[in-house]
Structure 1
Amino acid sequence: MMFHSPGRLLVRSLRMTFLTVVMVSGICVICASTKISLNTDATNRKEACGPTGVCDCSFADTFTDVYCREIQPHEVPRDIPSNATFLYIIMSEITRVPVDAFWNLTHLEELNLNENQIQEIPNLAFYNLTMLKVLELQTNKLRVLSPDVFARLPNLETLRLEDNQLQSLSSNIFENLTNLKYLYLQQNIISTLPGEIFRNLGKLSKLRLFDNMLKTLPSEIFQNSTSLVDINLCLNNIKSLPATLFSNLIQMEYLNLDKNEIEILADDIFADMHNLVSVSLSGNPIANLPDELLFGLLSLYSVAFEGEKLEVIPESLFYNQSKLPEISFWRNQITSVPERLFRGMSIGILSLSGNHISSLPEDLFESTTIYEALDLSANQLTEFPTAIIKANETMQFTILLLQSNRLTSINRGYFNKLINLRGVFLSDNSIHTVHGGDFNGPKLESIYLFENQLVEIIDNPFTGDTIKKVHLYGNNIRNLSNEFVTGVSNESLIFLNCASLSELPQAINAERMWVLPRWHRSAVVC
């Protein structure tokens, strides 16, 4: 049997058998062997465009946009214009796709069927869509996909299958998608992937596989995907990574392996990824990092080893790294930091928060520049680290976080040497004393001292001209001198619990505030 366009079939149901489908001079030849049922149900489906159409249709000389949202009944509309370029049928509770619904849409470049209830896709549903570049099937109820469902989409660049119920994928399902660049498979329940599934995806740039149930990855799975730039594998159950898994990914820039069950990393697992910008391994039970894990990765911007079981950081971890804008070791089991760990580096944000660090080596920051923020919160520090002041000329950060430690007092003049400091967080410590002029930094604006053990403030610790906010609530301050209140800089606010005060200083009285010099507008907020 021969015919020119399957989309022109007018019969409601045509049963035929075939072995293979080929195109010869534009003619479709169907040869017998396997039964197929074409149920068009055209009489039950509403017209897409026109006076009674259920879609919004925009017509132009070279294209037609068809936009269908929340349509009734919940069926793919019929008579979609054959020159449609963009077709959206979304949020319409469609449960099935008629096999011939899109056969005449040979100009279609984008097909969006997301947020429906589609459970399966007929094998030939996308048969004639050879111009299609974007196919969106996310947020449906797909459980199984036929191995050949995407076989006739040679120009497809983006495929979205996330947020379905897919458990597995055939090894050749993407075999003909040689122009695919973006593949979204996240938020399914995929537990395994065949080693050859991406073998023909030489142009694939972005791959999303997070929030599945993967336990392992075949060593050869990315072997031919040399154009990959961005892989997200977080929120799986991956326990180990083959040493050669990323060997050919020379273009890789972003790698996310967060929240898996990885315990051990091969020494050179990242060795070939010279363009790597960001690597994140947070939330894995990794106890030890290889000494040369990051060796040669000179393009790194962000490194995160958060929420793991690290007890020791290798001293050579950042060897030959000269600049890293973001480094985080948040919430590990680290008790000490190697003295030469950051030697010669320029760091934007450094976080060692949430560990068990009680002290830092005095020369830790020798020849080290930190230019945005230093986070040492939630540790066991009992004294302000000398390492920060000793390297004060290179400590250019604007934010210092020291909350939730065991600090009891403030070293006189400590913050005055940090000339770029704008905000200091000292809450949830055991600080019981502050001295006059303790906070006199040239750019200091915000001071957080709440939840400490302050009982009185006699002198004025907050003499900096740029101070705007001082947070003192959560203490048991009983005495607050007039010198303190009147000495705070212009336009500043002091936040505290007034209920604990034995009496309000005279300067806080409303009548007294009026006779203060007009330029003085400091206020206490209770």
Structure 2
Amino acid sequence: MAIFANSGVLLPLVFIGIAVTRESPIDMIETYGDYDQVCNVCNCSSFDEYEFINCSYRQLQELPPDVPVNTAELNFEHNNIRAKIDLPSSVLHLYGKDNQLTDIFGMFNETTGITVVDLENNRITSIPKGTFEFCHKLTELYLSANPIHHFNADSFIGLRSLKTLEMKYINGTIIETDLFREIRHSIQDLDINPWPKLTLIEPGAFNFSVRILKFSTGIMDYFPGSIFKQLQGEVQIDKCYIYMSETLNGISGKAFDGVSYMGDLKMIDSSMNYLPEGLLTNTSFVLAVFLQNNRLEDLPVGFLRLSPQLEILSLYNNHLKYITPEILMGLTRLKYLYLFQNLITEIPPLTFYNTNLKTLSIFNNQISTIQKTALRTSRRTLETIYMYYNDLTVIEDNAFDWLANISQV
């Protein structure tokens, strides 16, 4: 074990098993060994028997020759490097975003122990079969903002340990059924939002459980069914963020078939004006559902009835004309309901009675009357109501008597 000074605090470090990501670089003691050509251009640091080379922000057209054979981390971010990099086999972490690389095939044939690769914002157009074939220990791969258009399931062969994949802002047009077959058993965080040219998601494309899934609908006009469906077992997702576009005007009632559990769901920014029957009724949503910034005019009765654990429901900035007890059926633990910027004209009696509502945001609607029991909850949990910018003309007597804990109206 060695002790190094870092911002005045003594920190014990053990190199074996250290997990270093791009968010947590190790600050090393600067040294200059036998690699003067590299270290005259770049910052060289040593730790144990390993070298950490930082060549970032130097306007380099190519890396200096003779990168140490025992280099554990190589950082050449924010340069103009075009040529393929000859990597030492010892490299564990590679940071090369914001360069001009076009071809990475063969770069990783010798780096069998590499765990992190960040090549965002280069000029990479394809990921041929075998590019990562020997990277069995790679856990994080960042390829966003590359004009990648040629890739398929074989592009990920060898990535048996991959946990995080980011491929945002690429030129993919189809998410095929087997695209992620090589990583489906290991992947935890998958972020492919957005693919601006996306036209199709094939059935079963996301037929695996994952911690975080982010994707967009590109220029699709219809969200298909069964994209999560698998032959055996069920899919579980902690957080699913679907970023829609105005081209999307419809969604299949079977879109979430095969998903038994989802912590959070976000479907926003589309032209959808309705939710089909059965869309969300077979999935248990545990924490939050966000459906704001669409054009929804109506909601199916009990559309979240299998989600009694749900705490947050966001429906603001739609075209909803009413909210009823039947719509909120089964949401016994709902705490936060956001309905502002809709076209709601009334709140029927006991609409929120079976919820656990604490905050109701319903401002900027067309409500004219607050009936006596409209705001009543069975356990008198309501604390905050936002109702300004409505057409209120009548508030019935005792309309707020149910609000024992009210702190703001």
Aligned: 1:59 with 2:63? no
CA RMSD of the aligned region, Å?
Answer: 2.6
Tell me, in whole angstroms, the C-alpha distance in 2 between the residues paired with 1:48 and 1:184: 34
What residue in structure 2 maps to residue 187 of structure 1?
A: 169
1:175 aligns with 2:157: yes
Matched, 1:80 2:67: yes
User: Secondary structure of 1:280's partner?
Assistant: strand
Matched, 1:301 2:287: yes
Q: Which residue of 1 aligns with 2:27?
A: none
Paired with 2:353 and 2:165, the residues of 1 have a C-alpha distance of: 45
Counterpart selection for 2:117 from 135, 141, 150 = 135
> Does 1:250 find its partner at 2:232?
no
Structure 1: which amino acid aligns with 2:354?
Answer: S
CA 51–380 in structure 1, closer or farther in 2 if over 3 Å, else same: closer
Query: What residue is the counterpart of 1:234 in the other structure?
Result: 216
| 1:68 and 2:55 correspond | yes
Deviations 1:242-263 (A, max 9, x none): 4221013623222122223443
Question: What corresponds to 2:356 in structure 1?
Answer: 369
**Structure 1 residue 311: deviation in Å?**
1.6
Distance apart, 1:299 and its partner CA:
4.4
Alpha carbons of 1:413 and 1:85: their partners in 2 closer, same or farther (altered >3 Å)?
Answer: same
Unaligned runs of 5+ in 1: 1-46, 425-526
Matching residue of 2:31: none
1:110 aligns with 2:93: yes
Q: Secondary structure at the residue paired with 1:173?
A: helix
Of 186-195 and 153-162, more deviation after overlay is shown by 186-195
CA 1:346–1:195 in 2, change beyond 3 Å: closer, same or farther? closer
Q: Give 2:406's aligned residue.
A: 421
The verdict on how the C-alpha distance between 1:228 and 1:49 changes in structure 2, with shifts beyond 3 A counting, is farther
SS for the counterpart of 2:141 is strand
The offset of 1:156, in angstroms, is 1.4
Give the structure with the higher percent helix: 1
Kept in 2, the 8 Å contact 1:49–1:57? The answer is no
Any conservation in 1 of the 2:167–2:192 contact (CA below 8 Å)? yes
Q: What is the CA distance between 1:83 and its match in structure 2? A: 1.5
Decide whether the 8 Å contact of 1:291 with 1:316 is kept in 2: no
2:138 is the counterpart of 1:152: no
Amino acid at match of 1:380: Q
Tell me, yes or no, if the aligned pair for 1:215 and 1:236 is still in contact at 8 Å: yes
1: CA distance, partners of 2:306 / 2:136: 44
1:113, distance to aligned residue in structure 2 (A): 0.3
**In structure 2, how many angstroms separate the alpha carbons of the residues matched to 1:60 and 1:139?**
30
In the alignment, the residues of structure 2 paired with residue 51 and residue 267 of structure 1 have an alpha-carbon distance, to the nearest angstrom, of 59
Q: Give the aligned partner of residue 274 of structure 1.
A: 260
Q: 1:77: Cα distance to partner?
A: 2.4
Aligned AA (1:404):
Y
- Cα contact 2:191–2:213 (8 A) shared by 1: yes
1:206 aligns with 2:193: no
The answer on whether the counterparts of 2:347 and 2:370 sit within 8 Å (CA) in structure 1 is no
The Cα offsets for residues 96-149 of structure 1, whole Å up to 9 and x where unpaired, read as 324xx21xx22221111012232x124222220111111100122323333332
Per-residue Cα deviation, 1:1-59 (whole angstroms, up to 9, x for no partner) = xxxxxxxxxxxxxxxxxxxxxxxxxxxxxxxxxxxxxxxxxxxxxx9657952222221
Work out which of the two has the higher radius of gyration on C-alpha atoms and give 1 or 2: 1
* Match status 1:215 vs 2:199: yes
Partner of 2:391: 406
Q: Alpha carbons of 1:365 and 1:416: their partners in 2 closer, same or farther (altered >3 Å)?
A: closer
1:329 to 315, 319, 323: 315
Change over 3 Å in CA distance of 1:343–1:171 after alignment to 2: closer
Contact preservation (8 Å) 2:113, 2:138: yes
* Bigger Cα displacement from structure 2, 196-205 vs 412-421: 412-421
Shift of the alpha carbon at 1:414?
A: 5.1
C-alpha displacement at 1:314, in angstroms?
A: 1.1
Distance in 2, Cα, partners of 1:87 & 1:211: 29
Structure 1 counterpart of 2:106, which letter? L
| Alignment: residue pair count | 369
- Percent identical pairs in the alignment equals 20
Question: 1:56/1:235 Cα in 2 relative to 1: closer, same or farther (>3 Å)?
Answer: farther
Instruction: Choose between structure 1 and 2: higher strand proportion.
Output: 2
TM-superposed deviation, 1:361? 1.0
| 1:310–1:183 Cα change, 3 Å | same
Q: 1:96 aligns with which of 83, 87, 96?
A: 83
**In 2, are the aligned partners of 1:48 and 1:54 still within 8 Å (CA)?**
no
Evaluate the alpha carbon distance shift between residue 214 and residue 148 of structure 1 in structure 2; reply closer, same or farther with a 3 A threshold: same
Residue type matched to 1:317 in 2? F
Match of 1:285 in 2: 271
Q: Which residue of 2 aligns with 1:384?
A: 370
> Structure 1 residues 385, 283: closer, same or farther in 2, change over 3 A?
farther
Write out per-residue CA displacement over residues 255-306 of structure 1, whole angstroms, 9 at most, x where no aligned residue.
1222234433333432432221111221222232233333343342111222
Cα-to-partner distance string for 1:381-428 (whole Å, 9 max, x where unaligned): 11235444433x63424331112211247667655653333333xxxx
Query: Contact between 2:347 and 2:374, CA under 8 Å: does it hold in 1?
Result: no
- 1:159, CA displacement in angstroms? 1.0
Q: Secondary structure at the match of 1:172?
A: helix
Taking the aligned partners of 1:49 and 1:211, their CA distance within structure 2 comes to: 43
Cα–Cα, structure 1 residues 49 and 154, in superposed 2: closer, same or farther, change >3 Å?
farther
Pairing of 1:503-518 with structure 2 (within 5 A)? none
Change (3 A) 1:236 1:92: same
1:353 paired residue number: 340
